[in-house]
């Protein structure tokens, strides 16, 4: 599959995306069977001109949700929690909380209000840096916003992507285990998958070294603004984790094949619902995106975007990382899908 002609095609496609989107740096890896193609373009730092490196550490944004969901599913496997358990006993006062179940939260069908839609949840920040103590970005601030807003829809009626679901799951996880969510995810999920040496739910705002400088591309799509570090409590169990491309390629195999969950829960994890407002092949399982035949997740945080997907039937995986956020689009997802579409045009039919 990854012959010279195919490699040339992938290189042309990635270079086109890189220049069209005016990114500082961009990297991608495609693995098919035992063969591999990779390419890094641009710079890690626009001031020094240091080349972009695929092997660096990156914030993985909402890929964190796949780790959080796995930790919650492990508690269900162990009998500490059930799909039908309701939210109200864990986090009282959320609209419809007495009818919202753990499964509703996992598959984005809860209808819980999205705290991210309300500017008031943000503590005071200087410039575009989110590295501030500000009472350590308490999750209570987000919960208060959720309590103050009407439900988006009745539980189970539709699936709508919403970060609030995974903040609430983090709070449930802490109550069920009696431990900080970060400790559960690091100790029972990350540590349980061989090879995830560079993945963590961090306790500090600074990315591990080596890492690129990160940038926001101002809406005119010409001006880059460098951003600072990010307190991991900002997006917490919805989007706080850091990793590397190599680790993400290991993790996406776990999502597709599962060594950590029972066969029954793995089937549940991969059973998707269509996401409202998205294209027909965009569906969501339990902490996983199902894009046609692909399994994986994408994510973005201020200054970063990444995506990792696997096509199990073809033993193929793709990972994309960049050190810029462009107009709030998950550009890494767009590029990953373009690369996979070039190899397997009918993956959307899966």
Dump pLDDT digits (tens) for 146-165: 999 999 999 999 999 999 99
Mean pLDDT across 319-328: 85
Interhelix angle 331-343/4-20, nearest 10 degrees: 160
The secondary structure of 307-340 as a DSSP string is EEEEEGGGTEEEEEEESEEETTB-HHHHHHHHHH
Mean pLDDT of the chain: 92
Average pLDDT score over residue span 285-301: 96
Per-residue pLDDT averaged across 176-184, rounded?
Answer: 98
Mean pLDDT of 311-326: 94
- Tell me, what DSSP letter sits at residue 213? -
Instruction: Please list, in sequence order, all residues whose beta carbon lies within 8 angstroms of the beta carbon of residue 187, skipping any fewer than 6 positions away.
Output: 179
- Which of 319, 221, 215 lies closest to 20 in space, CA to CA? 221
Helix (H, G, I), strand (E, B) or coil at 317: strand
**132 pLDDT band (50/70/90 cuts)?**
low
CA 19, CA 11: separation in Å to the nearest integer? 12
pLDDT level of residue 130 (50, 70, 90 thresholds):
low
- Find how far residue 107's CA is from the centre of its chain: 14
| pLDDT over 70 percentage in the chain | 93
Half-sphere exposure of 3 (CA within 13 A, CB side): 2
| Mean of pLDDT values over 235-263 | 97
With vertex at residue 286, the alpha carbon angle to CA 156 and CA 329, rounded to the nearest 5 degrees, is 95
pLDDT, position 135: 47
State the CATH class of domain 4-349: alpha beta
Q: Given this model, what pLDDT does residue 217 score?
A: 78
For the chain, the domains span 4-349
Q: What is the pLDDT of residue 306?
A: 96
What per-residue confidence (pLDDT) applies to 188?
Answer: 98
> Does the structure show a pLDDT above 80 at 122?
no
Residue among 180, 229, 174, 215 nearest 201 (CA): 180
pLDDT at 280 over 90: no
Any idea which of 101-105, 127-131, 210-214, 295-299 has the lowest mean pLDDT?
Answer: 127-131
Angle at 297 between CA 292 and CA 300, to 5 degrees: 130
Q: Looking at residue 121, what is its pLDDT?
A: 66
Query: What is the arithmetic mean of pLDDT over 36-52?
Result: 97
Mean pLDDT of 320-330: 82
| Per-residue pLDDT at 123 | 55
Q: Does residue 309 surpass a pLDDT of 70? A: yes
pLDDT above 50 (res 126):
no
CB 239 within 8 A of CB 202: no
Q: What pLDDT, on a 0 to 100 scale, did the predictor assign at position 230? A: 87
Q: Rounded CA gap, 152 and 142, in Å?
A: 16
% of the chain exceeding 90 in pLDDT: 80
Q: What is the pLDDT of residue 224?
A: 87
pLDDT band, very low/low/confident/very high, at 125 (cuts 50, 70, 90): very low
95 token code pair: 């609209």
Q: Pick the residue with more confidence: 204 or 248?
A: 248
Q: Say how many C-beta atoms besides its own lie within 10 A of residue 23's C-beta.
A: 23
By the 10 Å C-beta count (0-12 exposed, 13-18 middle, 19+ buried), 345 is classed as exposed
Q: What is the pLDDT of residues 75-94, one digit of tens each?
A: 999 999 999 999 999 999 99
- pLDDT at 105 (0 to 100): 98
Answer yes or no: are the C-beta atoms of 307 and 332 closer than 8 Å. Answer: yes
Mean pLDDT of 17-30: 94
**Mean pLDDT score, 209-217:** 92
Of the pLDDT bands very low, low, confident and very high (cuts 50, 70, 90), residue 120 is low
């Amino acid at each position: 599959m990854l012959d010279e002609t195919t490699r040339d095609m992938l290189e042309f496609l990635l270079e086109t995306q890189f220049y069209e989107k005016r990114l500082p740096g961009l990297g991608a890896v495609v693995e098919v069977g035992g063969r591999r193609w990779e390419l890094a373009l641009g710079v890690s730092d626009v001031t020094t001109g240091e080349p972009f490196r695929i092997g660096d550490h990156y914030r993985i944004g909402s890929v964190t949700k796949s780790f959080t969901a796995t930790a919650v599913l492990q508690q269900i496997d162990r009998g500490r929690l059930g799909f039908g358990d309701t939210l109200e006993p864990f986090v009282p006062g959320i609209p419809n909380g007495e009818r919202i179940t753990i499964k509703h939260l996992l598959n984005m069908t809860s209808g819980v209000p999205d705290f991210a839609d309300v500017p008031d949840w943000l503590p005071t920040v200087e410039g575009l840096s989110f590295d501030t103590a500000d009472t350590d970005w308490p999750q209570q601030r987000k919960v208060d916003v959720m309590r103050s807003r009407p439900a988006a829809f009745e539980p189970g009626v539709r699936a709508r992507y919403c970060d609030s679901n995974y903040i609430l799951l983090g709070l449930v996880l802490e109550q069920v285990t009696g431990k900080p969510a970060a400790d559960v995810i690091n100790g029972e999920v990350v540590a349980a998958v061989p090879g995830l040496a560079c993945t963590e739910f961090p306790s500090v705002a600074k990315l591990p070294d080596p890492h690129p400088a990160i940038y926001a591309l101002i809406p005119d799509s010409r001006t880059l603004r460098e951003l600072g570090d990010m307190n991991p409590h900002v997006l917490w169990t919805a989007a706080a984790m850091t990793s590397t491309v190599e680790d993400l390629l290991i993790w996406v195999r776990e999502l597709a094949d599962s060594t950590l969950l029972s066969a029954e829960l793995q089937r549940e994890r991969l059973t998707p619902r269509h996401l409202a407002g998205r294209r027909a092949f965009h569906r969501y399982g339990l902490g996983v995106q199902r894009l046609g035949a692909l399994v994986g997740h994408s994510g973005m945080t201020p200054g970063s975007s990444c995506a990792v997907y696997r096509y199990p039937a073809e033993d193929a995986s793709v990972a994309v990382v960049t050190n810029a956020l462009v107009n709030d689009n998950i550009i890494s997802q767009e590029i990953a899908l373009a690369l996979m579409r070039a190899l397997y045009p009918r993956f959307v039919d899966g």
